[in-house]
Amino acid sequence: MFLSKQFSDKTILSQLKDPEYQTSLAEHKWDALLSKGPCFTSLAILMSHGATLQDSLHQLNLNPEVLHLLLSHQQLVLTAMRTIAESYLLRSSKKETGTLKKRVPSVVLEGAKGKLYKPIKFLAKGSAGSVYTCVRVGDETPKLAAIVVCDQSKSSKLASAVQQQLDRQLVLKQIEPTQKNSAENEFRIAELLAKNDSDNCCVNYLDRANEDVDHLWLVLRRVCGSPYGVDLKEYITGNFFSHPENQKDACQIILTLLKGLSHVSKCGVTMRDVKADNVLIDHCEGPHGVTYSARWSDFGLAVDLGKKLDGAAIRSPAQLSPDASEAMVIESLIGFWYDTQKLVPKPKWRGRRPPERCFQNPKKTGLGSFDAYMFAIIIVSIAISVDIAHIDKPSVRREFERKLAVKLPSDYLLTLEIGSFLQENIEKFRPFFLSAFGFRMADILVNESLHMLAKDPRERPRPLEVYERLLLVFEN
């Protein structure tokens, strides 16, 4: 039925029903989503009990136009279902062998804006692909390319010149073919967020280039790192926030990120995967002292719900015309699953994800509620200098237990909920909040964190509300 070269129909259907990977449309508690496209979990359940795809589609609450489109392209629906299931099954069946390849591709890429880019040096490799330093072909080679700080003893003219050199330092992100859909979404969301980001709270891609049909490259400015690293996770685990002299920077980073989350919500977007790894920090020592500029990054799992919060911008078959190509139909189906039914985040520690498992109807809960829950975990992580999001790792768990003088239960990956744990152990946490954020900000940050960690998303404050209350205390 699914024409998979590696997996049986039964395996495909079992994967699509697995709550460890999938959410059903009903979990959003947003009836409007049910008509925009198929609930793949419901289809898999019905088909597992012997129903045909045609009969299964008729049992969904699809609008007539979408139903007609899918009935006319049933093989494409099966192809989309196979692709979705295999995105997990193939990943778990592959084992990486050998050493990390650091060979720099010998290519010159033409960006969408007409610029030419050439990768120069391998920097890092992640699940989405590899990152390289690069140059614009035809640009004058910067003479100060290695400089990452500004010398306070020099003139402002020199500082400005060095900053210009920093601005010209670019990186290329080579996307794995299997992650192209996510990268396309990330580029689209980043462009949307950049339009009115006057405070520069979100990382924007400067350009994109297609090496061929399957290979996408993204261009962005290189982050100026510090001895602690380039992302917030590295600052947390490097104990940057355990030094009282960094209290002001800690508070400013929290405020900047809250303002950024507010901007994201204002644009009609939910990030869905809020964690310290996805915050980049630009470090610079200039004439006016050291600055740490925090910005949100990695929007591959974000969803655009539309400025009216009606779900109009969610990728779905409902957006297609009757004469849409087969490729467009498949892309819309996979996009609809990605935006509404892919379980995000999918950590080993269940408590990193809000209890509701997926974003809810934003007109009933507030768009930022899903992201706010995970941001509160970042605040607690900064306070105790432990990256709680990765508490599934034994070393992180041991550090968490050591600092708080507690012993987590053996099933903590299933039962630990930070809101309740913070409330029950508030006196153990308070000294850490005082050390990281200072006397004026400690108590209010504890309280705001508890509110953002409310189990009911309707009870969580919006990021802008938290920002305004914290700013009032911070500036007085």
Q: Indicate if 89 and 153 belong to the same structural domain.
A: no
pLDDT, mean over the chain: 91
Q: What is the mean pLDDT of residues 373-400?
A: 98
Lowest-pLDDT range of 16-30, 136-150, 271-285, 384-398: 136-150
Contacts of 81 (CB under 8 A, 6+ apart): 2, 12, 16, 40, 43, 44
Q: Output the pLDDT for position 294.
A: 97
User: Quick check: 190 and 299 in contact, CB under 8 A?
Assistant: yes
Q: Residue 295's beta-bridge partner residues?
A: 280
Q: Indicate if 178 and 259 belong to the same structural domain.
A: no
Q: Output the pLDDT for position 101.
A: 55
Q: Indicate if 377 and 416 belong to the same structural domain.
A: yes
pTM of structure: 0.91
Lowest-pLDDT range of 196-205, 265-274, 367-376: 196-205
Residue 306 included in any domain: no
Residue 428 included in any domain: yes
Q: What is the mean pLDDT of residues 181-188?
A: 91
Q: What is the CATH number of the domain that holds 214?
A: 3.30.200.20
Q: Indicate if 267 and 409 belong to the same structural domain.
A: yes
User: Quick check: 435 and 244 in contact, CB under 8 A?
Assistant: yes
Q: Indicate if 216 and 231 belong to the same structural domain.
A: no
Q: Given a cut of 70, is residue 4 above it in pLDDT?
A: yes
Q: Output the pLDDT for position 145.
A: 36
Last residue in a domain, options 162, 188, 222: 222
**Spatial distance between the Cα atoms of 402 and 443, rounded to a whole number of angstroms:** 23
Q: Indicate if 287 and 435 belong to the same structural domain.
A: yes
pLDDT band at 138 (very low <50, low <70, confident <90, very high): confident
Is residue 63 classed exposed, middle or buried when 0-12, 13-18 and 19+ CB atoms within 10 A define those classes?
middle
Q: Indicate if 372 and 231 belong to the same structural domain.
A: yes
Q: Indicate if 377 and 228 belong to the same structural domain.
A: yes
**Spatial distance between the Cα atoms of 56 and 54, rounded to a whole number of angstroms:** 5
Q: Residue 170's beta-bridge partner residues?
A: 134, 221
Amino acid type, 347 = P
Q: What is the CATH number of the domain that holds 290?
A: 1.10.510.10
Last residue in a domain, options 77, 94, 111: 94
Strand, helix or coil at 302? coil
Q: Output the pLDDT for position 288.
A: 79
Structural domain count of the chain: 3
Q: Given a cut of 60, is residue 367 above it in pLDDT?
A: yes
Q: Output the pLDDT for position 239.
A: 97
Q: Per this entry, what is the length of the chain?
A: 476
pLDDT band at 162 (very low <50, low <70, confident <90, very high): very low
Q: Indicate if 65 and 145 belong to the same structural domain.
A: no
Q: Indicate if 384 and 283 belong to the same structural domain.
A: yes
pLDDT band at 139 (very low <50, low <70, confident <90, very high): low
Q: Indicate if 89 and 108 belong to the same structural domain.
A: no
Q: Given a cut of 50, is residue 163 above it in pLDDT?
A: no
Instruction: Tell me phi and psi for residue 334, to 5 degrees.
Output: -65, -40
Q: Output the pLDDT for position 156.
A: 54
Give the pair of three-digit tokens for residue 179. 């992650």
Q: Indicate if 380 and 447 belong to the same structural domain.
A: yes
Q: Given a cut of 90, is residue 161 above it in pLDDT?
A: no
Q: What is the mean pLDDT of residues 217-235?
A: 94
pLDDT band at 19 (very low <50, low <70, confident <90, very high): very high
**Neighbour order of strands in the sheet with 129-136:** 109-110, 116-125, 129-136, 170-175, 216-221, 207-210
Amino acid type, 361 = N
Lowest-pLDDT range of 164-168, 195-199, 294-298, 444-448: 164-168
Cα–Cα nearest to 232, from 420, 444, 382: 382
Provide the residue range defining the domain that includes 177: 102-222
Lowest-pLDDT range of 21-25, 81-85, 175-179: 175-179
Residue 310 included in any domain: no
